[in-house]
A and B are shown apart, each in its own frame.
Chain A
Amino acid sequence: MRFAVVQFGGSNCDLDTQYVLQEVCGIDTDLVWHRDGLKRHYDAVIMPGGFSYGDYLRAGAIAARTPVMAEICRHATQGKLVLGICNGAQTGSEAGLVPGTFTINAYPKFISREVHLRVENTSSPFTSHYRKDEVIQVPIAHKEGRYIAGDAVIRRLNQENRVAFRFCDRDGTISEAANPNGSIENITGVLSKEGNVLLMMPHPERASEKVLGSEDGRRIFDSMIAHIEEHA
């Protein structure tokens, strides 16, 4: 089993993500510079957080038009796993991997803090190690994280159980007060139609070891590993 963490110019959570996969989860993980492309088989591709291309034009917009992105989309079309975290989520949405977009926070400020998330979907390759409606603690760090999409898209996401996570309070209540960035229906993790792509603003790699205050994020990676093992 092998994961790739794709590095765009300005990615800065690439090493943290590789560290968690390799050292904490024990999975061979290559750092792949975007210009080098996906040169071998990968079971999962992760687009890490950061500020690719200075967030010029729109966060993730430039990274989404690099040639490696076409390879990542092909990888997704083949049913293999793609996880976009923070800037990786913005990039993935710019590339059309899931509908909707992540845009400037309702209060246009960079927010870096712990938040609570309610796990909405526990059947996806990314969330099988959680319990339905479980409340987890994972940090966010972004200024362009407000998820928005048209009414029809939101309805479809809900009907098809494609919302992975929503911002909530520590008791699991979904409220405006628990919504740090103004995302529609507190949505902050969205799955593709086939469920093999997850784009999320919170940083699971920053909540994968006890010493960091939470291990709740690690189960995303563990879920992915279990999924790949089951389908090997």
Chain B
Amino acid sequence: MRYTLKITITLKPGILDPEAHAIRHALTNLGFRTEDLKTARIFLITLDTPDEGEARAQAEKMCERLLANPVIHDHTVEVMG
């Protein structure tokens, strides 16, 4: 079966996100009032596996081995079908 995975990588709570600060600052300059802003990175990966469980397992391994850095990142995996 062909599955498309949506893998979202975010910074762990408490990890400084200077990029988010800069973007929020620019939004403020444009007149937007925001309470918080976080950045995230999304990977859309299509693969062929026997079932959804295997697709998820592969995604977890990809996160562990490359896509996320466990020191600073959390990740979520969504199977989009």
13 A-B Cβ contacts within 8 A? Answer: A57-B67, A58-B69, A61-B66, A99-B71, A100-B71, A101-B71, A101-B72, A108-B19, A108-B22, A148-B15, A148-B71, A149-B71, A182-B16
A105 touches B18 (CB 8 A): yes
A193 CB-CB contact with B under 8 Å:
no
Considering the chains assembled together, what is the distance between the CA atoms of A146 and B19 in angstroms? 14
A26 CB-CB contact with B under 8 Å:
no
Considering the chains assembled together, what is the distance between the CA atoms of A104 and B20 in angstroms? 12
B18 and chain A: residue at smallest CB distance:
A108
A205 CB-CB contact with B under 8 Å:
no
Min Cβ gap B2→A in Å is: 24
Q: Which of A57-107 contact B (CB under 8 A)?
A: 57-58, 61, 65, 94, 99-101, 103-107
Kindly list chain A residues whose C-beta atoms are within 8 Å of the C-beta of B22: 108
> Which A residues lie at the B interface, using CB under 8 A?
57-58, 61, 65, 94, 99-101, 103-108, 146, 148-150, 182
Our pick among A61, A100, A104, A182 for the contact of B19 (Cβ within 8 Å) is A104
B72 touches A57 (CB 8 A): no
Kindly list chain A residues whose C-beta atoms are within 8 Å of the C-beta of B67: 57
Chain B residues touching A, range: 10 to 19
Considering the chains assembled together, what is the distance between the CA atoms of A171 and B67 in angstroms? 41
Kindly list chain B residues whose C-beta atoms are within 8 Å of the C-beta of A99: 71
B69 touches A101 (CB 8 A): yes
Considering the chains assembled together, what is the distance between the CA atoms of A148 and B22 in angstroms? 20
Considering the chains assembled together, what is the distance between the CA atoms of A58 and B73 in angstroms? 12
A106 touches B18 (CB 8 A): yes
A150 touches B18 (CB 8 A): no
Kindly list chain B residues whose C-beta atoms are within 8 Å of the C-beta of A100: 71
Min Cβ gap B59→A in Å is: 16
Considering the chains assembled together, what is the distance between the CA atoms of A99 and B65 in angstroms? 15
Q: Which of B13-66 contact A (CB under 8 A)?
A: 15-16, 18-19, 22, 65-66
